[in-house]
Structure 1
Amino acid sequence: MLTACRPAGAGTVLDLCCSYGINAALLNHELTLEDLYAHYTSPQATELTTAELIEWDRAYYAAHRRPEPARVIGLDAASHAVSYAHAVGLLEEAFAENLETAPPSPALRQAARHTRLITVTGGSSFLSPLTFGPLLDCVHGPVWVAAFVLRTHSYRRIAKCLEPYGLSTERAATHTFPQRRFTSKQEQRYAIDAVTAAGEDPQARETHGYFHSTLYLSRSATDAAEAPLATLVQAS
C-alpha cells in the first residue's frame, strides 16, 4: 500500500476512473477493503432497493468518517457509478465525463483547480495524455500523480506528458500490488505473455492468478527529494 501520499497543505484529491468511490471510502473512513466486502455481500445489502441502499450507505459511511476527511472529487465515464458515489457522500463532486473524447467541462475545470493529488488505480490502461494534459492545465499549484498501472501495460506515454508540468515519474521497484483475479485461463495467459514481453517476471504474481499493478508516482524533484518513494510504500 501507499502511505502519506499527499502533498502538504489542504487541497483536493481527484480520483480518475473512480467508479463507485472505493478509493474515497478507504481514504476518508475507518474501513478496510475487507470491511467493504463484508458490507456489500451481507444479506441485508442484497435485499435492498437502490434507493434503500443509498440511505443505508449514507448512514454507514457517516458512522465511520475520519475526523478530517480529504476533499475527494471523482471522474469516470460511468455515470451511474459516479452518481451513486456522490449520493452516498463519498465524493464531494462527481463528473461523468470521458476526456479521451471531449475536453473537461467548465464545472470540472473549476472543481479541479485546487487538486493536490490525482489518483488512478488500474484505469490507466484506458487513459492517455488526452486525459492527463487537460486536467493538469486546470490545476493551480503543486500536484502529485499516483497511478497503479497494470503490469500488462506501459505508462511511458503518460509519464512523458507529465514532464512539461514539472512532474518527474518514479516507479516503485520493490513491490507490486494485486489488482483482481483473472476471469479465465485465456486472460491469465494473455497477462503472463504481456508481462514477460515487457521484461518482467510473472512468477508468484500473474502465475498465481491475479493481475498485478505497479505504482508510478509523479511529482516535483523537490518533493521527491524530501519524501523518497521508498519511505511511502509498504507491502500490501
Structure 2
Amino acid sequence: MNDQAAFDHERAPGKARFDDIYDQPDPRAYFARLAPLEYQIPHHAQAEFRRTLAERTRAADCAGEVAVLDLCCSYGINAALLNHDLTLADLYAHYTDPALGRLTTAELVERDKQFYTARRHRHAVPVIGLDIAGNALSYALAVGLLDDACSVNLEHDEPNASVRRAMAHTGLIVSTGAGSYITARTVSALLDQARRPVWISAFILRTVDYRPVIDRLRSYGLITRSDPADLYPQRLFATPDEQHHAVAAVLRSGQEPHGRESAGRYYARLYRSRPATAWADQPD
C-alpha cells in the first residue's frame, strides 16, 4: 500500500476501493463500473452548482468572470454537467455505448471533442480541475472539459505553480467526492493562494466528519451552512462490509442510518460555505 492509499484507507475505513478506474486514459471503465452501483451524486450536484455559481457571479464583490475549481475532479464530470446541455444519465449512456467500446482512447477523445462542443452552453465558465489522477486530468483537458488542471496532492505537497495560477481566478470551489480523501490541510493550501473571495459547495458523505474543515473555513472568514435533513443518495454499497462500516460511522456521529445507509446506500449532505456578508441577505 503506497502512502496515498494508506491515507485514503485511514480517512475512509471499510470504503470500497476503485483505484483501477479512477486514473484510466478515458472514463469508459469508470462509468461501466459505477453504473450498477447507481452512482448519482453529480446528478444532484448539477442544479446546486449552477445555482451557486449564478449567486456567486451576482455577489457584490464579484469583479469579472468567476472560475470554478473542482476538487477531486476525476474525468471532469462536474464540468461536463455545469457547462453543457447534458445530464448524468446522458454521460452513462454515452460512455457505456458498445459502439464507443471499440474505439481507441485517441479516437474517443476526437469523438468527445465534438460531443461536448455541440452541447456547450453559450455562457460556459472556466473550470479548473484538481486531482492526483494525471490520466483523468489529461483526458478532461484533451476533450475541452477543463480549462486548466492541477495534478498535485495537497495533503502531502505544497501548492505548486498550477495551484497558485488556479486560485488567482477561482471564486467557487465545488466537490462531489473529496470529503473522504482530503482534510483541512488541502483547504488551507487552496485558500492561502486565493486572490478573491471564495465560496465552497461540497457534497460530503455522512460517514465523514466534516467539522474540522468547517472550523478551518471559519478561520478564513467562511461560514458554513447545512441542513441535516437535506440528504442526497450517493450510490449503493459495493459489499456488505462496506455497508457495515458506513452504518457504524453514521451511528458514531450521532446520526440515524435507518432508511438510509441501513437500506443499502451511501448518503451525502450538502455544505455551503461563504463569507458572512454573502449570507446577510439569505434566510437561515
What does 1:87-166 align with in structure 2 at a 5 Å threshold? 87-166=142-221
Gaps of 5+ in 1: 230-236
Written as runs of structure 1 = structure 2, the 5 A alignment for 1:30-49 is 30-49=85-104
Q: 1:5 aligns with which of 36, 40, 52?
A: 52
Question: Which string of whole-angstrom CA distances, capped at 9 and with x for unpartnered residues, describes residues 199-224 of structure 1?
Answer: 11112221232111111111011211
Matches of 1:187 and 1:111 in 2, distance apart? Answer: 35
Aligned residues: 229
Contact 1:182-1:188 within 8 A present in 2 as well: yes
Where do 4+ consecutive residues of structure 1 move more than 2 Å? 225-229
The aligned amino acid for 1:89 is: G
**1:232 paired residue number:** none
Structure 1 match to 2:35:
none
Comparing 167-176 with 55-64, greater Cα deviation is found at 167-176
User: TM-score when scaled to structure 1?
Assistant: 0.93
State the one-letter code of the partner of 2:226.
R
TM-score by length of 2: 0.78
Structure 2 residue 277 is the aligned partner of structure 1 residue 222? yes
What amino acid maps onto 1:94 in structure 2? Answer: A
For the residues of structure 2 that align with 1:147 and 1:11, how far apart are their CA atoms?
17
What stretches of structure 2 of length at least 5 have no aligned partner? 1-43
CA shift for structure 1 position 144: 0.4
Deviation for aligned residue 1:139? 1.1
- The alignment yields a C-alpha RMSD, in angstroms, of 1.3
- The answer to whether 1:69 aligns with 2:124 is yes
Q: Deviations over 1:12-71 (max 9, x none)?
A: 100010000000000000100111110011112211111111111111011110110011
Match of residue 191 from structure 1:
246
Confirm or deny: 8 A CA contact 2:69 2:166 kept in the other structure.
no
Task: Report the residue type matching 2:245 in the other structure.
Answer: Y
Whole-angstrom CA distance in 1 between matches of 2:226 and 2:270: 6
Residues in 1 aligned to 2:101 and 2:142: alpha-carbon distance in whole angstroms? 19
Separation in 1 of the partners of 2:101 and 2:280?
48
Q: CA deviation at 1:147?
A: 1.2
Cα distance in 1 for partners of 2:167, 2:146 equals 13
Task: Give the deviation of 1:134 after TM superposition.
Answer: 1.5
Q: Where does residue 202 of structure 1 map in the other structure?
A: 257
Name the residue aligned to 1:79.
Answer: 134
